Amino acid sequence: MYTGLIVLTIGIAIVFEDQLFTKNNAKELVEEQDIKLTDEFELLKNESISSIEESYHTFTLKISERNKQDAIAKIKNAVNFEPYDNGSKESLLYEQGDRYFGPKLIQNYETESSYIREYFQPSGRQGYAPTFRRISVSKTGNLLTFEDIDE
């Protein structure tokens, strides 16, 4: 009886994962990267895609002008910030040699359309996906996009 109930609960949680995601969940994920959301914001989009070896979660927030400027300042004032140079910046997701062991890395840079903060943490275990998260703050709108990619 209890085993069936547990399996059913897990199944419902997986099926309705996107619908159960809240603004508070979004705020926590963004603030893990030291980008604070002090004003009201709107959760415009939330998507999760999972397969056996990969998962991808993204959401887009409409944030206040003040929170946008604070996030951009946080990224631009980082010691390792790289301004846009008409070239393409290689993502931490793809440039890491050892994806299982090593230090946590944070990269801050600018593209033509946004300011980016990327976070990469090896799993510490062979065969387990590292943690890779990216926050993009749009230059033209008050949009913040979060991506969590496990592959």
The pLDDT of 46-70, averaged and rounded, is: 89
Instruction: Report whether pLDDT(151) > 90.
Output: no
Q: What's the pLDDT score for residue 16?
A: 43
Instruction: Report whether pLDDT(12) > 60.
Output: no
Instruction: Report whether pLDDT(11) > 50.
Output: no
Q: Express each pLDDT in 86-103 by its tens digit.
A: 766 666 555 656 667 888
Q: What's the pLDDT score for residue 2?
A: 55
Of 33-37, 114-118, 119-123, 138-142, give the lowest mean pLDDT range.
119-123
φ, ψ (nearest 5 deg) of residue 79: -55, -35
φ, ψ (nearest 5 deg) of residue 141: -125, 175
φ, ψ (nearest 5 deg) of residue 41: -145, 165
Instruction: Report whether pLDDT(59) > 60.
Output: yes
Contact 122, 98 (CB under 8 A): yes
The pLDDT of 18-41, averaged and rounded, is: 90
